Amino acid sequence: MKDGFVKVSAASPVIRVADCEYNAERVIEAIEKAKKLGVKVLVFPELTLTGVTCGDLLGHRVLLDGAARALEKVVKATSGTEMLVFVGLPLALGGGVYSVAAAVCNGDVLAFIPRENVRGTLFSAPSDQMSASIDCSAYFEPDSGYVPFHVVSRNATFPCYALPELRVAVEIGVGNERFGADTQRLALNGATLIAQMASFPQTVTSSDEARENALYESRLYKCGLVLAAPGRGESTTDNSYSGLCLVAENGELLAENEAANGALAISEIDVQHMTTLRRRVGGFEQKSPPTAFDWCFEPVITNVPRRYRKHPQLPDDSEALAKYCERMLDIQVSGLVKRMEYAHLDHCVVGISGGVDSTLAVLVSSMAVKRMGLPLTNVVACTMPCFGTSSRTKSNAVVVAEQIGAEVRVIDISASVYQHFDDIGHAHDDYSIAFENAQARVRTMVLMDIANKVNGLDVGTEDLSEYIDGWCTYNGDHTSMYDVNLGMTKTQVRAAVSHIAAKTDNKVLKAALYDVLDCPVTPELLPIHDDLIEQKSEDAVGSYSLQDFFTHKILVCGFDPIKTLRLSKLAYGDEFTDAELVKWLKSYSRRLFSQQFKRSCLMDGPAVESFSVSPRTGLHMPSDGECTLFLRMLEEYRE
Stronger pLDDT, 396 or 584, i.e. the higher one: 584
Determine contact, residues 239/201, Cβ cutoff 8 Å.
yes
574 residue type, one letter: D
Contact partners, residue 56, CB within 8 Å, separation at least 6:
122
pLDDT at 117 over 90: no
- Mean pLDDT for 39-55 is 95
**pLDDT tens digits, one per residue of 151-175:** 666 678 999 988 889 999 999 988 7
pLDDT band (50, 70, 90) for residue 614: very high
pLDDT on residue 431: 86
Determine contact, residues 228/8, Cβ cutoff 8 Å.
no
Burial 63-75 (b: 16+ CB within 10 A, else e): bbebbbbbbbbbb
pLDDT at 522 over 90: no
Q: Please list the residues that pair with 108 across neighbouring strands.
A: 105
pLDDT on residue 176: 64
Determine contact, residues 175/121, Cβ cutoff 8 Å.
no
Beta-carbon-side half-sphere exposure of residue 512 (alpha carbons within 13 Å): 25
Helix (H, G, I), strand (E, B) or coil at 539: helix
Stronger pLDDT, 122 or 304, i.e. the higher one: 304
Contact partners, residue 482, CB within 8 Å, separation at least 6:
335, 336, 339, 457, 458, 459, 460, 603, 604, 605
Regarding beta strands 84-93 and 96-105, do their DSSP bridges make them parallel or antiparallel, or are they unpaired? antiparallel
**pLDDT tens digits, one per residue of 287-304:** 666 677 777 776 667 777
Q: Please list the residues that pair with 226 across neighbouring strands.
A: 195, 247
pLDDT on residue 546: 95
- Please state, as a whole number, how many other Cβ atoms lie within 10 Å of the Cβ of residue 335: 22
pLDDT on residue 121: 44
The listed range with the strongest mean pLDDT (51-55, 83-87, 412-416, 555-559) is 83-87
Query: Is residue 135 within a helix (H) or strand (E), and if so which, with residue range?
Result: strand 133-141
pLDDT on residue 178: 58
Burial 565-574 (b: 16+ CB within 10 A, else e): bbbbbebbee
Helix (H, G, I), strand (E, B) or coil at 405: coil
Helix (H, G, I), strand (E, B) or coil at 563: helix
Phi first, then psi: give them for residue 558, nearest 5 degrees: 80, 25
Regarding beta strands 252-257 and 5-12, do their DSSP bridges make them parallel or antiparallel, or are they unpaired? unpaired
Alpha carbon distances (Å) from 266 to 1, 36, 198, 244, 246: 16, 12, 17, 12, 8
Burial of 219 (0-12, 13-18, 19+ CB in 10 A): middle
pLDDT at 260 over 60: yes
Query: Is residue 224 within a helix (H) or strand (E), and if so which, with residue range?
Result: strand 224-228
Torsion angle (degrees, nearest 10) of CA 9, 151, 120, 20: 60
Whole-number mean pLDDT of the chain? 87
CATH number for the region 2-281 comes to 3.60.110.10
Determine contact, residues 294/161, Cβ cutoff 8 Å.
yes
**Cα 85 from Cα 78, distance rounded (Å):** 9
- Dmax over CA atoms of the chain, in Å, equals 101
Phi first, then psi: give them for residue 442, nearest 5 degrees: -65, -40
Alpha carbon distances (Å) from 338 to 122, 345, 359, 419: 62, 10, 21, 38
pLDDT band (50, 70, 90) for residue 280: confident
Q: Please list the residues that pair with 270 across neighbouring strands.
A: 5
pLDDT at 78 over 60: yes
Instruction: Provide the 8-state DSSP code for 4.
Output: G
**Cα 620 from Cα 639, distance rounded (Å):** 32
Alpha-carbon 329 to chain mean position:
22
**pLDDT tens digits, one per residue of 528-540:** 455 444 545 677 7
Q: Where are the beta strands (DSSP E) in 5-95?
A: 5-12, 41-43, 84-93
51 residue type, one letter: G
Q: Please list the residues that pair with 160 across neighbouring strands.
A: 295
Homologous superfamily in CATH for domain 318-635: HUPs (3.40.50.620)
From the list 560, 149, 488, 531, the residue with the least C-alpha distance to 330 is: 488
From the list 274, 266, 275, 250, the residue with the least C-alpha distance to 302 is: 266
- Percent over 70 (pLDDT), the chain: 87
Q: Spell out the SS3 assignment of 568-599.
A: HHHHHCCCCCHHHHHHHHHHHHHHHHHCHHHH
pLDDT band (50, 70, 90) for residue 282: confident
Burial 379-402 (b: 16+ CB within 10 A, else e): bbbbbbbbbbbbebbbebbbbbbe
pLDDT band (50, 70, 90) for residue 92: confident
Determine contact, residues 158/168, Cβ cutoff 8 Å.
yes
pLDDT at 360 over 60: yes
Determine contact, residues 220/194, Cβ cutoff 8 Å.
no
Alpha carbon distances (Å) from 216 to 199, 209, 223, 252, 281: 19, 10, 11, 9, 16
Between CA 130 and CA 138, with CA 134 as vertex, the angle to 5 degrees is 115
- Mean pLDDT for 227-253 is 94
Angle (deg, nearest 10), helices 356-371 and 490-503: 60
- Mean pLDDT for 628-636 is 92
Helix (H, G, I), strand (E, B) or coil at 419: helix
**Cα 254 from Cα 521, distance rounded (Å):** 35
- Percent over 90 (pLDDT), the chain: 69
**Cα 247 from Cα 267, distance rounded (Å):** 7
**Cα 67 from Cα 238, distance rounded (Å):** 24
- Mean pLDDT for 261-275 is 92
pLDDT on residue 174: 80
**Cα 22 from Cα 176, distance rounded (Å):** 29
- Mean pLDDT for 581-600 is 95
Determine contact, residues 626/596, Cβ cutoff 8 Å.
no
Among the ranges given (134-143, 515-524, 564-573), the one the predictor scored with the smallest mean pLDDT: 134-143
**Cα 12 from Cα 231, distance rounded (Å):** 6
**pLDDT tens digits, one per residue of 311-328:** 999 998 899 999 999 999
Alpha carbon distances (Å) from 575 to 29, 313, 340: 41, 19, 43
How far is the first Cα of the chain from the last one, in angstroms, to the nearest whole number? 15
From the list 336, 365, 343, 604, the residue with the least C-alpha distance to 455 is: 343
Beta-carbon-side half-sphere exposure of residue 582 (alpha carbons within 13 Å): 13
The full set of domain ranges for the chain reads 2-281, 318-635
pLDDT on residue 119: 44
